[in-house]
Structure 1
Amino acid sequence: MVFVIGLLGAGGAWFGWRLYTGPGPLAADTAIVIPRGAGVQGIAQKLAEGGVVRHSVEVLAASRLRGDGARLKAGEYLFPAGTSVKGALDLIISGKVIVHRVTVPEGLTSWQIVERLRGEARLAGDVTAIPAEGTLLPETYQFLRDDARTDLLARMSVDMEKALDRLWAERDPDLPLKSKQEAVILASIVEKETGVAAERPRVAGVFVNRLRIGMRLQSDPTIIYVLSDGRGQIDRDLTRADWKLESPYNTYVLAGLPPGPIANPGLLSLQAVLKPEAHRYIYFVADGTGGHAFAETLEEHNRNVVKWRRVRDGD
């Protein structure tokens, strides 16, 4: 009888160990959110509902025998197919939650950035105030599920301040820029004028040259910013009437920089403005390849404009 009882006990222990360490029923890698304050009971139920374990009792029993229920951490976890009960508990204790990413492209307005974050369903909370233009650094940001949108915006703002402080300290001498804010304003214009990274220092040099001689910047994106009410885009081409728009952002009418940024510039545009290419160009126009043709004189510029119109019209 003693032998039989011992044998049954050993068999039960072996069976329990197999349940604890053997492959679970999960057929494919699955993400499951363990909410804060769920407790062992709630976690066990979540794992059973998600198909990680066959029954919540398996998790409850294992956690009680291990004595580490207090170490289970909330978060979103990716459970591999066939995860055992032991593997599931070890993963939740490790705190190796899923890290998500959101990319904020250079040149978006603050309104556009907020809209992008509002469209990210894995973030939480609303944004009640649009951040000031030019205060957010475009970049790829990591976040955890249910992080607050406002917290992510705050990180973007801190990153912009740090980047701007560093680049301003390394700027070229004798730039016609009186402050970091003016650098951001000009960088936002450069950002919207060209999508070719290698061109940005040259485009920045054009605008720096214009500022030095008191020539108007004549930048279409500054007008588009006003016409779009800060949303960055309009669904039509600019007209001659638009170039006469009464606005402090109209760089065709008013000399110098507009009163504020027209977008959130990236690092390359900030670098370009603070270390512009040294040249004598004061004109540029699209060349039909995605880049621009640059000129020192109006006569040369007019020839480039004619070439661009031929390309545009397919002549």
Structure 2
Amino acid sequence: MWRHIASNALTFLVVLFFLFGGVLIWAQNSYVSEGPLEQAICVQVERGSNFRRVSESLAEDGAVSSAALFRIGADYAGKTSQLKAGSYLVPEGASMAQIVDIVTRGGASTCGTEVVYRVGITRATVQVRELDPATGRFVEIAEFDPAEDAVPEEYTEVKAEADTRYRVALAEGVTSWQIVQELNQIDVLEGEIEEIPAEGSLAPDSYEISPGDTRAELLERMVSAQDRILAEAWANRQDGLPYDSPEEALIMASIIEKETGTPDERFLVSSVFVNRLEQGMRLQTDPTVIYGITRGQGVLGRGIRQSELRAETPWNTYVIDGLPPTPIANPGRASIEAALNPDDTGYIFFVAKTLDPADGHNFAETLAEHNENVAAYRALEAQREN
């Protein structure tokens, strides 16, 4: 009798063991396999939240099949103490393991509302936008010019939200003066900028910021980024270029930036100016004349006068030989790389193809060809005036 009982007990334990093992395998597979989410969602993790609240919210949104299993998996992975506040994009079909990684990895939020402070060549804007998880695209909520427009209510509201992201986006070709003027208008930054950074020393890019960051710290990030870009491009430059230093290449890059209406022409424009330097010709480029007039403090807003083309300023390349003494703007990476790796051409002239700068230029190796191109452009100007 006792032997029969022992045998049944052993059988029961074996069955229980296999059932437990099966449950573990099922749980593990459920944790790492594709989840039930049919459409991407934005998950907000509040400051001070915990995995129980997050798991229940995910279950309500249909992102996980079991809140308990989600918590058990996170605990087994040792990540329950690594929850990070923020707004995170959870893609459709994300597994529990992937979602745990998303909400514990940290870094910048990947969805939700963001404010972008755009510093452009002719104007600056503040844009409030929100990511649509379904499309993965940002939808504009409000946009305004801080120098001219009243602050919209939408901007005030998102500033009060703890998970709002902030970015400063610099257009290629903006001047250091323009950047400082606009940074001083950003009300989530602190501190004063005592002096304008050297022209060309700030890298045009998109910079994540947080309320309370200082303007000086942000400028340091921009300077460091430009230093890295220039050093890398200088190390990979072509041989035999007419530059004695990275600083001279940066000056050339700024001219290319201001002369190029289409990105794919940068290396051609670079070849023209390099050929001119090598042949001892003056660069004769209008943006340098404009910089001599404005010193980078805003846009000229009108055409260049003949007297200004003849005026002797350190930047007027119709008057001076070689490069001007400083950059005339802050060039982007592409223009820096173009200055140091120009196309191999015989071009020494170029003029706009049409009245739209986006249409690019006609390039020429001889003055006769260039005069024909100029005549074609003048004809287009005459048509517009008529």
Contact 1:171 1:275 in 2 (8 A): yes
Alpha-carbon deviations, 1:260-281, whole Å to 9, x = none? Answer: 1000100000010000011000
- Equivalent residue, structure 1, for 2:217: 151
Q: CA deviation at 1:77?
A: 6.7
Contact 1:224 1:232 in 2 (8 A): no
- Equivalent residue, structure 2, for 1:254: 320
Q: CA deviation at 1:112?
A: 0.7
Q: Which runs of 5+ in 1 are unaligned?
A: 1-28, 35-39, 41-70, 79-90
TM-score when scaled to structure 1?
0.70
Alpha-carbon deviations, 1:39-80, whole Å to 9, x = none? Answer: x9xxxxxxxxxxxxxxxxxxxxxxxxxxxxxx9xxxx977xx
**DSSP 3-state at the match of 2:207:** strand
CA RMSD of aligned residues (A): 3.0
Distance 1:118 1:304 in 2: 44
Matches within 5 A, 1:147-296: 147-288=213-354, 289-290=356-357, 291-296=360-365
Q: CA deviation at 1:123?
A: 1.5
Matches within 5 A, 1:290-305: 290=357, 291-305=360-374
Q: CA deviation at 1:113?
A: 1.0
**DSSP 3-state at the match of 1:101:** strand
Which structure has more relative contact order (CA 8 Å, sep 6+)? It is 1
Alpha-carbon deviations, 1:112-150, whole Å to 9, x = none? Answer: 111221222221222111001011110011111121111
Amino acid at match of 1:112: Q
Q: CA deviation at 1:99?
A: 3.3
Distance 2:362 2:187 in 1: 43
Distance 1:227 1:149 in 2: 28
Paired residue total? 241
**Is 1:307 aligned to 2:373, yes or no?**
no
Instruction: Indicate the structure with greater strand content.
Output: 2
Q: CA deviation at 1:98?
A: 4.1
Distance 1:141 1:309 in 2: 42
**Is 1:135 aligned to 2:201, yes or no?**
yes
**DSSP 3-state at the match of 1:121:** coil
**DSSP 3-state at the match of 1:198:** helix
TM-score when scaled to structure 2?
0.57
Amino acid at match of 1:121: D
Residue number among 107, 116, 121 corresponding to 2:182 in the alignment: 116
Alpha-carbon deviations, 1:154-195, whole Å to 9, x = none? Answer: 000001111111110000000011100000000000000012
**DSSP 3-state at the match of 1:235:** coil
Distance 1:300 1:144 in 2: 54
Contact 2:292 2:314 in 1 (8 A): no
- Equivalent residue, structure 1, for 2:12: none
Contact 2:259 2:287 in 1 (8 A): yes
Contact 2:284 2:317 in 1 (8 A): yes
Distance 1:118 1:302 in 2: 46
Alpha-carbon deviations, 1:25-49, whole Å to 9, x = none? Answer: xxxx99x9x9xxxxx9xxxxxxxxx
Q: CA deviation at 1:231?
A: 1.7
Amino acid at match of 2:169: T
Amino acid at match of 1:206: V
Alpha-carbon deviations, 1:174-225, whole Å to 9, x = none? Answer: 0011100000000000000012100000000000000000000001111101
Report the CA distance shift for 1:133/1:121 in structure 2 as closer, same or farther (over 3 A).
same
Residue identity (%): 46
Amino acid at match of 2:376: K
Q: CA deviation at 1:306?
A: 1.0
Contact 1:133 1:263 in 2 (8 A): yes
Distance 2:186 2:261 in 1: 25
**Is 1:105 aligned to 2:171, yes or no?**
yes
Q: Which runs of 5+ in 2 are unaligned?
A: 1-42, 49-80, 88-102, 110-162
Contact 2:291 2:328 in 1 (8 A): yes
Distance 1:232 1:176 in 2: 31
Distance 2:298 2:252 in 1: 16
**DSSP 3-state at the match of 1:314:** helix
**DSSP 3-state at the match of 1:160:** helix
